[in-house]
Structure 1
């Protein structure tokens, strides 16, 4: 049976929802982002008008304002976006049970079993239904695998549809830049470019052993993707995507100038990450920190934790150790993040004479008790002494503001 995979991408999703709900914004440049006054903010998305000014996703709001002085910033309303996402998903469920979401605004569907309509016809029908029933537009990619379907939905926007087949994929896909394909980020792009690999055609025709040598097993995967050899199935709608990581990050209200400032922020972030892990019954074994300076230079560092943990104090301690070992303070810091990965589901730990396990269990009970107080009286009713040093700096709640992001298909 011929595979018919569609990738549906809601165009400028957050901004489109805001413009639908507020018609007075439709002919103005609009971006959805954080709190402009407290500088907790980057551009999450923008409408087509704002895009013409060269705004980019992830750009600080102050910088976006310099490009477009009449830019209207709308504070994100995630509960509303979730409701609109459910409306789109409800339409997709009329066509198949094989629906795999990729964040709130994107999904793959497999309609291979439809006897009456082909992928192109279903894609056009979905586009029209979303526009009429939900009030926003989507772009649709149709192909015989998930990777090419995703490239198809990105190929022409907004409100467009691209069909990529085994006959035309070399003409459509291979001239594209390597960075246009999912999971080819800036670091991978730079490495490929160093060896003269600039397009997906270059990648597809590169030596497999060479790619494995420079990129590891991901090099083999990316080559297969570029050659149209991805046969990964679209998951059934009832199957939840595995949790690969739990993390929080923030852009601070002022630049961080010393280790004490950094510890305040890491404390708030670590408490949120640990709390979310405990809610899911998870313990992680790898911790990563993200650091971005005032000139937007950034890096990520990670370390193995001594044992699987969801104790906030251990996350803070290891985050600070990583930070101190890797930052030279040539510039003040603008953003920090903490992520925990490699979850241990067995929780098997070796007891020792120093009673490390018992101490960790006590700390976990303390964290849990603090959470119960916060659940009842609010996130700011109790906290570590560190956070009291600068209440303005520590007064944010990533746990309450948390937004779920998609997990890599790799």
Structure 2
């Protein structure tokens, strides 16, 4: 028997929550943005009138106002969004225990085992959910109904706002295959450009490719996308209370002013590595690899990653490896707007080991001592606050001389 899966996507979520307190702005182009003073001045969400003006999520405020001079800007309130997200998912859980959030404003619901309790009609259930969300929370939903998660998400994207789309065994090829390949889950800009070089611009063209060719081009992801395009996704909907395996641990920040010197960049890397190391210890994990992303003032991102010779979660190690990667991407005095440091290829404590060199010399005792030291830092921060103690590299005593 086919599964019955809903993908529920809250329309213009941040903006919709803000407009609950500003009903007079519903018909006026309005956007929620980050704080321009702290250089987080990008559009986080927009309402339908702003969308019709061409305003896009993640573009800068000046770009948005160029398209829409009368755009009203509202500050973001993330704690409020999290509260509404909890309330929305609590409603979903009245229909099934299999509710898997996908970000703060989207969730999959597997109602295969409970649909008969609500009339047995999946479209009618989706419509009832949309109406209930409007009545109880003042928010609108787009809902996709299908036999797998990927097509359910395509359905919620297919018609917006406040709509239900059913993608069934009978109509899925007619609906799905003409769509742009970029509409498929996990097909980002880079994958879209790569596939375009081989004449693949629609999901149907992707479905017609040989899986061996896609694997050669894209590795395991190519095979996965082939299965998605052909309706072969069997991924289960997990309960939101079921812990998801941690695949990476990262932290990034936009700096108040551009960084232009090596010591400034190293301080930024050390601060981020400190945060990543702390989270790794909290999760009982070690980094087997490291990835760095550097963003310039024009919002161009460049990334590099590498495998580490031995797993680690030490601030010193992560800082050194991340800085070495950064120096392959950036040279002073080129300005840096933002940095991200991510621990990848994670392993748990039982699998973390160090390769002993040919002469039997190991830094194990030193690393154990450093781990105890950093664990002590965690305890101090837990008692007195995150600023109570910091890693020295994050606070250099002197600035390097400017380049001639």
TM-score (norm 1): 0.88
Task: Find the counterpart in structure 2 of residue 363 from structure 1.
Answer: 370
Q: Deviations over 1:136-155 (max 9, x none)?
A: 11110011111110000011
- Supply the distance in 2 between the matched residues of 1:95 and 1:13 (Cα, whole angstroms): 22
Task: Find the counterpart in structure 2 of residue 406 from structure 1.
Answer: none
- Supply the distance in 2 between the matched residues of 1:131 and 1:157 (Cα, whole angstroms): 15
List runs of 5+ in structure 2 lacking aligned partners: 399-404
Contact map agreement 1:255 1:333 (CA 8 A) in 2: yes
- Supply the distance in 2 between the matched residues of 1:199 and 1:219 (Cα, whole angstroms): 15
* Displacement of 1:351: 7.1
Task: Find the counterpart in structure 1 of residue 353 from structure 2.
Answer: 349
Q: 1:237 to 1:327 in 2, by over 3 A?
A: closer
Q: Deviations over 1:187-215 (max 9, x none)?
A: 11011000000000110111222212211
SS class of match (2:19): helix
- Counterpart selection for 2:163 from 137, 142, 160: 160
SS class of match (2:32): strand
Instruction: Note the 1:219-298 alignment, pairs <5 A.
Output: 219-298=222-301
Contact map agreement 1:40 1:252 (CA 8 A) in 2: no
- Supply the distance in 2 between the matched residues of 1:65 and 1:314 (Cα, whole angstroms): 44
Task: Find the counterpart in structure 2 of residue 31 from structure 1.
Answer: 31
* Displacement of 1:363: 2.1
- Supply the distance in 1 between the matched residues of 2:24 and 2:310 (Cα, whole angstroms): 54
Q: Does 1:140 align with 2:147?
A: no
Q: Deviations over 1:112-143 (max 9, x none)?
A: 23223221011001111111112211110011
Q: 1:274 to 1:117 in 2, by over 3 A?
A: same
List runs of 5+ in structure 1 lacking aligned partners: 392-410
Contact map agreement 1:351 1:357 (CA 8 A) in 2: no
Q: Does 1:202 align with 2:209?
A: no
Q: 1:343 to 1:386 in 2, by over 3 A?
A: closer
Q: Does 1:94 align with 2:89?
A: no
Task: Find the counterpart in structure 2 of residue 6 from structure 1.
Answer: 6
- Supply the distance in 2 between the matched residues of 1:193 and 1:351 (Cα, whole angstroms): 43
Instruction: Note the 1:163-202 alignment, pairs <5 A.
Output: 163-202=166-205
* Displacement of 1:8: 0.5
Larger Rg: 2
* Displacement of 1:85: 1.1
TM-score (norm 2): 0.90
Task: Find the counterpart in structure 1 of residue 64 from structure 2.
Answer: 64
Q: Does 1:309 align with 2:312?
A: yes
Task: Find the counterpart in structure 2 of residue 404 from structure 1.
Answer: none
Measured on the aligned residues, the alpha-carbon RMSD in Å equals 2.2
Task: Find the counterpart in structure 2 of residue 79 from structure 1.
Answer: 79
Pairs aligned (count): 391
- Supply the distance in 2 between the matched residues of 1:53 and 1:362 (Cα, whole angstroms): 59
- Supply the distance in 2 between the matched residues of 1:298 and 1:155 (Cα, whole angstroms): 30
Contact map agreement 1:287 1:339 (CA 8 A) in 2: yes
- Supply the distance in 1 between the matched residues of 2:249 and 2:234 (Cα, whole angstroms): 28
Q: 1:390 to 1:298 in 2, by over 3 A?
A: farther
SS class of match (1:40): coil
* Displacement of 1:347: 4.0
* Displacement of 1:26: 3.2
* Displacement of 1:390: 9.4
Q: Deviations over 1:69-122 (max 9, x none)?
A: 444444433322222111111111111112111112111111123223221011
SS class of match (1:37): helix
